[in-house]
Amino acid sequence: MPQPTTDTVVAFTASGKPKRSIESIGVERRYANVIRTFLAGEMPGFSHERHVHVANILHHIPYGRELMHLGLQTMAYRAYIPHKYSPEITDREWDKLDGTLPGPDAFADLPGGACGTL
């Protein structure tokens, strides 16, 4: 089973599944709407800045790099430009992330805000 690619310490269950940390659960709750919208390939206004914000959010979650790949690939296919997705570029840039979480107001344009409950 592949190991999660995150800078946080991850414990595993007896069956090998990652146990989510309190930190990663908190990040998932604060940015639930951002994560869902991105993975659905429906993130509006996906500028470079927003791309980095989403990556920094996923950086705190087990398998975040893989989720980043999945979301970008989904967005490319939904936009009918699958050739624009590059796993090599994503991997290269992922290693440069500092993991700084954006303020929830960076996603104020999403219905429900960053968490989905506003």
How far apart are alpha carbons 118 and 75 in whole angstroms? 25
User: Which amino acid is residue 73, in one-letter code?
Assistant: Q
Residue 78 lies in a domain: yes
Residue 9 lies in a domain: no
Residue 57 lies in a domain: yes
pTM of the model: 0.85
Residue 117 lies in a domain: no
Residue 1 lies in a domain: no
Average pLDDT over residues 14-29: 88
> How confident is the model over 43-98, as pLDDT tens digits?
999 999 999 999 999 999 989 999 999 999 999 999 999 999 999 999 999 999 99
Which tokens belong to 64? 């975040």
Residue 60 lies in a domain: yes
Residue 37 lies in a domain: yes
Residue 11 has pLDDT above 70, yes or no: yes
What is the tally of structural domains in the chain? 1
**Band (10; pLDDT cuts 50, 70, 90):** low
Residue 46 lies in a domain: yes
Place of tokens 């344009």: 109
Q: Quote the domain boundaries for residue 73.
A: 28-107
List CB contacts of 43: < 8 A, sequence separation 6 or more: 34, 37, 50, 54, 71, 75
How far apart are alpha carbons 29 and 12 in whole angstroms? 21
Side-chain-facing half-sphere of 84: CA atoms under 13 Å: 11
